[in-house]
Chain A
């Protein structure tokens, strides 16, 4: 069970199938890489939330991938599917629906060592309108 949690997020303004850094702290600061906390041996929890913060472009659907890299990774670069967003419109739609989704927490088993971990994210498909992606790593 993880005992140390770090969270970062960013708006994804890049083109499709292009990794970009996820490095903004919840207080607005920048954390370009996460230093593996002292005595932590692995990442055992991965929490993720994705949101179209703005106008969600219609008839788009994207899958999101998180990439972990850096000197703190024992077994090299790791990539994770962290979910998808889609928005469809048929005809002259006037519908809308409030959406609320809890973050998805999953167990993972990623060995780490003293060093830095860099978080990057990419999406496939068509840009849905610079969505936000927020990631929590749980170390133990």
Chain B
């Protein structure tokens, strides 16, 4: 996520590195059953920043009830006055949100993400969508 704060940007790179673009909603499905996500900063995490991340589901004709925005979580790198040398690591369990979001099979579902607060250093966001 290289964009500025409170700005949505596409989330569209597949796990194999290819550009997946919008997701074609599978035939025969009618809803998103759950959303699972995690986020980390792949690089130097700017000290004393703590953005909160939001996922947006959108796409023309994909969502009968319109766009949906869901908060995903936060990351924070505390460092007092900002001059301390520190080395830290984390392991974050993914967040799974059970949902019941209506979709239209065959339409393209686009994922976008934004963050509130201060850029932590181009964090990486991963999202899994479960259709049913």
Contact = CB atoms under 8 A, between A and B. Distances in A.
| A interacts with B | yes
Interface of A: 1-7, 9, 11, 24-28, 37, 47-56, 58, 87, 89, 93-103, 105, 131-132, 134-136, 138, 140
A101 B52 CA distance: 10
B51 A52 contact: no
Contacts of B7: 27-28
A78 to B, nearest CB: 19
Chain B residues touching A, range? 35 or more
A99 B76 contact: yes
A82 to B, nearest CB: 11
A98 B48 CA distance: 10
A103 B72 contact: yes
A1 B98 contact: yes
Interface stretch (B11-19, B20-28, B111-119): B111-119
Contacts, number: 167
Interface string B111-130: 00010111000000000000
A56 B65 CA distance: 39
11 contacts: A24-B6, A26-B6, A26-B8, A52-B78, A54-B48, A89-B80, A96-B88, A97-B86, A98-B88, A100-B76, A103-B73
B71 A100 contact: no
A50 B79 contact: no
> Which 9 A/B pairs are nearest by Cβ-Cβ distance?
A53-B117, A28-B6, A102-B95, A1-B100, A51-B74, A51-B50, A7-B69, A96-B86, A53-B50
B90 A105 contact: no
B50 A54 contact: yes
B90 A96 contact: no
Contacts of A37: 65
Nearest to B123: A100
B77 A96 contact: yes
A103 B35 CA distance: 12
